[in-house]
Structure 1
């Protein structure tokens, strides 16, 4: 495992992505074209074809749609990361965790259940799941969307760590209904 990937709690990254993915669905913020895939309705639909892995199938589907929509709205800039576009070694480690997560599916059931209802407030949902600290919420309150409203820049040059990834997730709170503002961070080389 690379030094970069060891700075990241990959279970936590999975939870952050799940919360943002669910918040962005069509029955909530309307950022990506999935309609309740991570909801109870999506669970019922997916569990028919994937009885043991449906939660992770749901997650994969919404993650890919969110990744594509984010890249469409804010194309990746060299030297920058987003919640959906992290350095290759971090993404490789994240991908390597999927079999472990699927094997321990029962341990994730409560978390998946807890995000099924659409969320009106992303920061409240992150707080409810203990995924954001008050000082991080304070930093988010000082950030602003870009002039064209398509992105939110994290200030300064950042390290790729849990704090930065939390801010990337939480800064999605600056988006509006049907108009996501994609948070990004310039990372040190």
Structure 2
């Protein structure tokens, strides 16, 4: 019973954090730089495999019309737009990060955070290329290259925070 209550409490917290992270945004077209990915990783770190639950609920709430996506956007149009793949990629990314944090090995944990980030970008680039009629190379140039340094910083921050809370 306590386990379920903890999952519910953490889920509400991480949905709120991911939504708040979407407002901390640098608007780079076609994909803004936000802190959502940091909170997606932290969801996995804190909740382990259950970290995918609040992320999936976040995506569903935004698709249902709650303005939780970057800068208060919402709806299926956002998921079908150029950023949709990144949002969908958050779900397996949280699961991968969570599974990695079920291991005690720092190497496994770092590898999991990196894999989760790569997974987010794989989903995002694939959908960006498809939705914006870009080549894979063009999608990587606009959907990954401007964010690479920021993602390294976010992975390092998530790992550092994870050492304290996991």
The answer to which structure, 1 or 2, has the higher relative contact order (CA under 8 A, 6+ apart) is 1
TM-score, length-normalised on structure 1?
Answer: 0.32
Greater share of helix:
2
Bigger-Rg structure (1/2):
1
Greater share of strand:
1
TM-score, length-normalised on structure 2?
Answer: 0.35
